[in-house]
């Protein structure tokens, strides 16, 4: 009997942990978007104050952000420098295809970067700043939606998994 109770408790605790993990995934997604936002602000500063070429600006930003975003920025920087004939948007698109799995994001979450790439490079610094500001504002919007979704889903995931765990435990006992 003791074994059954211990087994049941283990199932419920595991289900709770899975619930927390699922709820946390949304938060980690938000963290990645926050880091991308931070990286873009750094790219903007490098452009505005140091007139740094895009490839170097992304590489510099990659050193100051964390998580998967650092890898994405670093690969975009390398891609721009290594492919002088390629369009910036294509480099970003290819990088996202290759590296998005290293983050908690899906490609559609970071597609704003590709749109930004289409406006980058052949404009003056004021237009570059405006383009980055617009992208940051779009990301802010996404973060806002995700935060609301996360708050709502956090309780839901925990409840569903705990209830699911209890159900499995009862059935097994």
Partner 1 sequence: MGEKTIFDDVLGKKLRTVLARFERSKWEGIEEIRIRLNKPLRIKLSGRSCFIDESGLESSAEKAFIPDERCIYETIEVITEHSLYSVEEELKNGYITAKNGNRIGVCGKVVWDKNGIRTIKNISSLNIRFAHEIKGCGKKASEYIFEKRKLCHTLIVSPPGCGKTTILRDIIRILSDEWGFNIGVCDVRSELGGNRYGRLDLGKFTDVLDSCPKALGMIMLLRSMRPDVIAADEIGRKKDISAIEEVINGGIKLICTIHGTDIEDIKQKPYFSNLLEKKIFERFIVLSAKEKPGRIAGIYDRDLNLIYRE
Q: Can you give the binding site for partner 1, defined by CB under 8 A?
A: 47, 51-55, 57, 80-81, 84-85, 88, 120-125, 127-128
- Backbone φ/ψ region at 120: left (φ over 0), alpha (ψ -120 to 50), beta: beta
Cβ nearer to partner 1, comparing 11 with 43: 43
Number of Cβ atoms within 10 Å of the Cβ of 135: 21
C-alpha distances (whole Å) from 14 to each of 10, 20, 69, 161 are 6, 10, 30, 9
What the block records as the tokens of 122 is: 């052949």
Q: How far is the CB of 151 from partner 1 (least distance, A)?
A: 40
d(CA 61, CA 77): 9
Cβ nearer to partner 1, comparing 33 with 92: 92
What the block records as the tokens of 3 is: 């074994």
Cβ nearer to partner 1, comparing 3 with 84: 84
Q: How far is the CB of 103 from partner 1 (least distance, A)?
A: 24
Q: How far is the CB of 162 from partner 1 (least distance, A)?
A: 52
From the centroid of its chain, how far is CA 15? 26
Cβ nearer to partner 1, comparing 44 with 142: 44
CA dihedral for 149, 71, 77, 84, sign (positive or negative): negative
Q: How far is the CB of 17 from partner 1 (least distance, A)?
A: 46
Cβ nearer to partner 1, comparing 26 with 46: 46
Q: How far is the CB of 70 from partner 1 (least distance, A)?
A: 21
């Amino acid at each position: 009997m003791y074994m059954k109770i211990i087994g049941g408790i283990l199932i419920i605790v595991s289900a709770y942990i899975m619930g927390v993990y699922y709820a946390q995934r949304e938060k980690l997604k938000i963290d990645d978007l926050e880091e991308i936002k931070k990286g873009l602000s750094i790219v903007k500063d490098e452009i505005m104050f140091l007139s740094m070429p895009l490839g170097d600006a992304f590489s510099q930003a990659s050193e100051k952000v964390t998580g998967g975003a650092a890898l994405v920025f670093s690969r975009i920087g390398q891609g721009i420098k290594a492919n002088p004939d390629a369009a910036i948007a294509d480099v970003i698109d290819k990088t996202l295809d290759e590296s998005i799995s290293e983050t908690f994001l899906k490609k559609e979450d970071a597609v704003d970067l590709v749109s930004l790439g289409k406006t980058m490079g052949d404009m003056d610094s004021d237009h570059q700043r405006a383009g980055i500001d617009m992208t940051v504002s779009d990301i802010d919007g996404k973060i806002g939606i995700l935060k609301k979704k996360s708050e709502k889903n956090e309780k839901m995931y925990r409840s569903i998994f705990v209830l699911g765990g209890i159900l499995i435990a009862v059935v097994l006992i």
